[in-house]
Amino acid sequence: MNGLTARVMNGLTARVPTALRRLVGHELRVLAGLARWATGRRHGVRGRADLPFGHARDQAAIMYGLTFVCVVEAFGMAVLLRDWPTAHRVMLVVDVYGVVLMIGLHAASVTRPHVLSPDALRVRQGAHRDLRIPLALIDAVRAERRFTHEAADGVLDLPVASTTSLTLELAGPVTAVGFLGGRREVTTVRLHADEPDALLSALRERLAARPERPHAGAN
């Protein structure tokens, strides 16, 4: 029975467009972020060897401001539609979900930090992006604060509040998956961290401790 159920679920999943599945997955990650935020848990931090580095602090004021705007908008619509009960109830559900979603977006950023493990750096952008970069592929890392980011081949920008603070140069490409499932190879990753100096120091320490990469042509 379990095998039949799995085949049915796989068949249904195959018929759902990738973009829709990605959107639903994003919503679920946002809602899960609220639960983790309430319980103080962080996603992807498995033990003492995993070092978390937050990236949500600089966007907090913006997100709280947008949440306040959503609350005001919900109150305004409730007043305007008070004489139309059906429309009032529909808009109330939409507005309440909008407020929950806005808080959840920030919660996802708080609970999904960058994670430096013994063999990889996992970089995030809230619930939108999640990329694991093996330490063996990191060729160089530097502090570099940037406020503008133009699209370029082989470059992945993960700004927070339009800012990135660290740049990683990779010795080989990694596959970055976009919000709607698009894939592309990147060799430069720019990201933001609340404490970029701490992440830079910890990353350089682990890079220095990794086994030396073999030279090209070595047996």
Classify each residue of 75-93 as buried b or exposed e, where b means 16 or more C-beta atoms within 10 Å of its C-beta. eebeeebeeeeeebeebee
Rounded distance, CA 191 to CA 90, Å? 39
pTM to 2 decimals? 0.83
CA 104, 190, 196: angle at the middle one, nearest 5?
75
**Stretch 158-163: mean pLDDT:** 94
In this prediction, residue 133 has a pLDDT band, given cuts at 50, 70 and 90, of very high
Q: pLDDT at position 218, please?
A: 36
In-domain check, residue 84: no
In this prediction, residue 215 has a pLDDT band, given cuts at 50, 70 and 90, of very low
In-domain check, residue 123: yes
Domain total in the chain: 1
Q: pLDDT at position 152, please?
A: 87
Whether 131 shows a pLDDT value over 50: the answer reads: yes
In-domain check, residue 151: yes
In this prediction, residue 213 has a pLDDT band, given cuts at 50, 70 and 90, of low
Whether 59 shows a pLDDT value over 80: the answer reads: yes
In-domain check, residue 194: yes
Beta partners for 114? 53
Span 115-125, pLDDT tens digits: 999 999 999 99
Residue 11 tokens, joined: 């068949």
Q: Which domain holds residue 162?
A: 115-209
Q: DSSP 3-state assignment of 126?
A: coil
In-domain check, residue 178: yes
In this prediction, residue 114 has a pLDDT band, given cuts at 50, 70 and 90, of very high
Q: DSSP 3-state assignment of 18?
A: helix
In-domain check, residue 133: yes
In-domain check, residue 15: no
Q: Which of 165, 50, 55, 45 is nearest to 108 (CA)?
A: 55
Q: pLDDT at position 5, please?
A: 44
Cα 107 to chain centroid, rounded:
11
Percent of the chain residues past pLDDT 70, beyond the cut: 89
Span 70-95, pLDDT tens digits: 999 989 988 898 889 898 899 999 99
Q: pLDDT at position 8, please?
A: 42
Whether 13 shows a pLDDT value over 90: the answer reads: no
In-domain check, residue 108: no
Q: Which of 210, 166, 170, 202 is nearest to 187 (CA)?
A: 170
